[in-house]
Structure 1
């Protein structure tokens, strides 16, 4: 949160010195919450994932130079930072601006889910009940309570699918997908796999291949733009989160060892996946798809490949950033849940041109 607040002040006041930004951020945090991480005493009993994690935020709160070098780690989410700045311009405190986006995104996600379910179920009561149950889903609630891009990226992900599958407005779906990548760049992995699927089944999606290439070009350009301005290498980001926290990751990065990376992956892969909702959701996917399943059926092929894409994207993301924090996975969770509802209840193929076709 302190990094996103700093980026707000850095955008609004480009000539402000880092010492003043640092003072403004931590003065506001101390006023709002004296127990905020870094402001209170370090708890020696806190279990560290990366060496130095327990003292890292304490150092940031006391060292403006170290704080300055943390900001580039969070500058790779330009659309989320833009929204933070926009809410700040509307008169909110920097801390309130970062939280309000998560709260508003949470509400809009539920509205979007309700609209989606209405189209599929055509039953207001059932759609409302399912929406209420989803609103209590713990990862979704967690994401709404954090000053992070999780809720906003989930909203944009669902909006891209809603406009593609329900509204059939491919241009709008592309715009939402671009904004989703600009909010959380790792979603580029998922969209890349998805566009490959749409390319090979373009007749089912009824989208021209030239249109697909043009649309994917926008997605690739947005991801490339983030990487072009990115000051932090993947190795530094990995070490900072999982091996040894670096106080000066830009000016004095530590040496990266692949052996440490492989050891961490091997040690945590089963733990991370088993503590997520993916194994449980996979059981329900198999149960639903098993009914009248045939590999010769193109509808079954697309549905299976769609879920394969989700799990492949999650696995590849894990190899790059080996953590499956549930609030960060909420977009994938909701895609799986809504897709299963669609397949189970819709009278037509999930990827038909409209709900009217095939009845």
Structure 2
């Protein structure tokens, strides 16, 4: 399946930016005009129909004003292309892995695609290992893993050139190492890498650290290491912002209202009324088009079975799912899109948590898995 996703990957419009960052890292002295030429020559060879290379389709519906001609301008204007790269430098770990594959001998375009396909395979391996640990049933763990492998958002993230699959893998690794391996330090390292891959996960981890602090005695986590670990996450997030030249307002407008050809040097003024109008017009449509309403039904059904306000275990379960949904809604206010491939990490966390609550043969909150038998 992983090979199929790689062989049939999408040439989505982020690809030219990630390829440019590879060349910019590998050849720091190379002029932007040369980088621009190398990127589009390679894309033209791989996919002549890539956005910006072919004629503009006047029938394409625009989400943001100017979107239909934006990538055509990028393909012809190295200066505009250079500023486009600044939108993607906020994912340094993803860009580092891209560059590492390039150093191994893969082309810039192949390096981008390999990350998503390999991350897809590693996610399934990790899920299978986790399910074996908590279910103590190889057959059931295998069946659930196969079904998850067919989950459309996970496959979409595996086919797209984006940081979605890698960030999902790092998110699941941080959970697995914290809950199963009981290694809080290493879990914090993977959390940092997750934020370095997709900075918006800082919102989710901030809420999670609050939950861990609230249940630190049950989880047997000491306060000082917890605060130090969270301090590293804060530093990681603000380190990214220190190198970020594109303001949130310019990023929002570029994606959802009016495309910014020069988001660094000539950003348009932010319009609060346009922002509020867009949020109001999209929030219900985006939420209903996602899997969150369906998963919420299963959460309610499963939690209602043994729910008690006096039971700290069920309280923690409710708070955890509240954090997931609260994070998603807060993230929507910052970046109003709930594209399923971007939400695959949240979907899998919910699904695995529900499998654990409903079928677990062990208590992962004990000192070891053996204690929970």
| TM-score scaled by length of structure 1 | 0.99
Runs of 5+ in structure 2 lacking a partner?
1-14
C-alpha contact (below 8 Å) 1:342/1:350 kept by paired residues: no
Q: CA-to-partner distance for each residue in 1:53-74, whole Å, 9 max, x for gaps?
A: 1110111001111100100000
Indicate which of 244, 265, 282 corresponds to 1:268.
Answer: 282
Indicate which of 212, 217, 221 corresponds to 1:207.
Answer: 221
Q: Is 1:58 aligned with 2:72?
A: yes
Q: CA-to-partner distance for each residue in 1:289-346, whole Å, 9 max, x for gaps?
A: 1112101111011111000000000000000000000000000000000000011111
**342-351 or 248-257, larger mean C-alpha shift:** 342-351
1:243-258 residue pairs with structure 2 within 5 A? Answer: 243-258=257-272
Q: CA-to-partner distance for each residue in 1:92-130, whole Å, 9 max, x for gaps?
A: 100000100001000000000000110111111111111
- Secondary structure of the corresponding residue to residue 73 of structure 1: coil
| Cα RMSD for the two superposed structures | 0.9
Q: Which residue in the other structure is 1:26 paired with?
A: 40
Indicate which of 236, 241, 245 corresponds to 1:231.
Answer: 245
Distance (whole Å) between structure 1 residues aligned to residue 19 and residue 303 of structure 2: 45
C-alpha contact (below 8 Å) 2:171/2:190 kept by paired residues: yes
Distance (whole Å) between structure 2 residues aligned to residue 52 and residue 32 of structure 1: 26
In structure 2, do the counterparts of structure 1 residues 353 and 287 end up closer, same or farther at CA, with 3 Å as the change threshold?
A: farther
Q: Is 1:316 aligned with 2:330?
A: yes
- Secondary structure of the corresponding residue to residue 52 of structure 2: coil
- Secondary structure of the corresponding residue to residue 370 of structure 2: coil
Indicate which of 79, 95, 99 corresponds to 2:109.
Answer: 95
Q: Is 1:345 aligned with 2:359?
A: yes
Q: CA-to-partner distance for each residue in 1:218-248, whole Å, 9 max, x for gaps?
A: 1111101001111000000000000000111
Indicate which of 216, 222, 226 corresponds to 2:230.
Answer: 216
Q: Which residue in the other structure is 2:306 paired with?
A: 292
Alpha-carbon distance, 1:356 to partner: 2.9
Indicate which of 301, 322, 330 corresponds to 2:344.
Answer: 330
Distance (whole Å) between structure 2 residues aligned to residue 296 and residue 197 of structure 1: 17
Runs of 5+ in structure 1 lacking a partner?
none
Distance (whole Å) between structure 1 residues aligned to residue 124 and residue 259 of structure 2: 37
Q: Is 1:67 aligned with 2:81?
A: yes
Q: Which residue in the other structure is 1:86 paired with?
A: 100
Distance (whole Å) between structure 2 residues aligned to residue 148 and residue 203 of structure 1: 38
Alpha-carbon distance, 1:358 to partner: 4.6
Q: Is 1:156 aligned with 2:156?
A: no
Distance (whole Å) between structure 2 residues aligned to residue 180 and residue 238 of structure 1: 22
- Secondary structure of the corresponding residue to residue 19 of structure 1: helix
Q: Is 1:186 aligned with 2:200?
A: yes
Alpha-carbon distance, 1:351 to partner: 3.2
How many residues are paired up? 359
